Amino acid sequence: MLLDLDGVIYIGQQPVAHAAQAIEQCRSQFGVAVAFVTNNASRTPDSVSDQIQEIGLAARPADVVTSAQAVASHLARELPAGAKVLVVGGPGLVVALTECGLVPVTLVSERPVAVAQGFDPSVDWRMLAQAAGALHLGLPWVASNLDMTLPTELGRAPGNGSLVAALTTATGRVPISMGKPEAELVLEGIRRTGAARPLVVGDRLDTDIAAAHAAKVPSLLVLTGISTPLDLCNAPADQRPDFIGADLRALLVAHPAVDMTDGSTDATVAHCGGWSVEIRAGTVSVLFSGEAPIDGVRALARLCWWAADRDAASLLGVAELCEQLWPVGQR
């Protein structure tokens, strides 16, 4: 299992319900290996593994794969040993660059030859101003990821992509991004675990699930973080997960198949676990309700994908049905 962290295992400093127990059961009952693959570049693998252990999960620094490490590895391949790199970020990026034989600096006057940017709460105007100065000189620019938001106890907050956007606005430049949705973090997790049958698990369609598609491995979306059932229904083909779960307990149970049938000449129906959802005359509605709302979400998503793949007109009633199946307060 290649597990995302923010929104899957914890949100800010708070553990996600059932996550630790489900992962430990996968390990003990099925012998599944685990790598923690995160776009968050703010902290070192040591500090990330410490937080994972605080919520009751065994984790070593070697089990953690960060986008900061991907940035540092890329720059180490492109630059000579000892090259100076201007850092817009925190300890995670500084340590990763140092471990790859590069020298982190914070000022343009120190004559860096590249700019590395990763999210950290300490990033401020002064850091961004130094980076803008370096970018105006034409230095190469590598970002850990382009996530516009990240989940916190207060809700969605600006992510690295928002800070990157500030520099893009100021300089007209666009960085290379090494984090998800690129495949590299997923592939690194596969290499470290020796996975023959990997599964990417995440809460974001546009990063976690897209990265799984890029790496050509199956994925599970859990509804404990950023992406919502409505996002799921509107997902393009390269952001559709193979499996959908309410939370990580979805790893421990069989997932009922979604069956599609033509109810009549003007209706198509998706069936899943006692739920039946139909499209009739361009409107979606529930024919039969089952016990588990997540099965209704699975049926509705598949129905919406079926319609989108046939270039159908926008469906009516999707947002209302998503709210009925998965109220905002439930997340």
What would the pLDDT profile of 123-132 be if each residue is shown by its tens digit?
999 999 999 9
174: phi then psi, degrees, rounded to nearest 5: -130, 130
> What pLDDT shows up at residue 263?
55
267-272/259-264 β-pairing: antiparallel
Helix 91-99 vs helix 67-78: crossing angle, to nearest 10: 40
Q: Which domains does the chain have, with CATH numbers?
A: 2-39+181-251 (3.40.50.1000), 67-177 (3.40.50.1000), 256-330 (no CATH)
pLDDT at 330 exceeding the cut of 70: no
Q: Could you tell me where the beta strands, DSSP code E, fall in the chain? A: 2-3, 10-11, 14-15, 35-38, 64-66, 84-88, 103-105, 114-117, 141-143, 149-152, 155-158, 176-177, 200-202, 219-222, 243-245, 259-264, 267-272, 275-280, 283-288
Tell me the pLDDT tens digit for each residue of 260-291.
987 556 789 999 999 999 999 899 999 999 99
Catalytic choice (4, 63, 147, 203): 4
d(CA 321, CA 325): 6
Is residue 147 among the annotated active site residues? no
Instruction: Please tell me which residue, 149 or 292, carries the higher pLDDT value.
Output: 292
Is residue 6 among the annotated active site residues? yes
With a CB cutoff of 8 Å and minimum separation 6, the contacts of 28 are none
Helix (H) or strand (E) holding 159: none
d(CA 279, CA 262): 10
pLDDT at 34 exceeding the cut of 90: yes
User: pTM for this one?
Assistant: 0.84
> What pLDDT shows up at residue 313?
77
Nearest to 195 by CA among 177, 225, 215: 215
Tell me the pLDDT tens digit for each residue of 204-247.
999 999 999 999 999 999 999 989 999 999 999 999 999 999 99
Least confident of 37-41, 123-127, 170-174: 37-41
pLDDT at 33 exceeding the cut of 70: yes
CB 145 within 8 A of CB 178: yes
**Rounded alpha-carbon distances, angstroms, from residue 99 to 24, 75, 78, 218:** 31, 12, 15, 32
The dihedral formed by the CA atoms of 213, 214, 220 and 222, expressed in degrees to the nearest 10: -110
- For residue 197, give the amino acid letter: R
**Rounded alpha-carbon distances, angstroms, from residue 210 to 146, 240, 284, 331:** 13, 8, 26, 22
d(CA 231, CA 102): 40
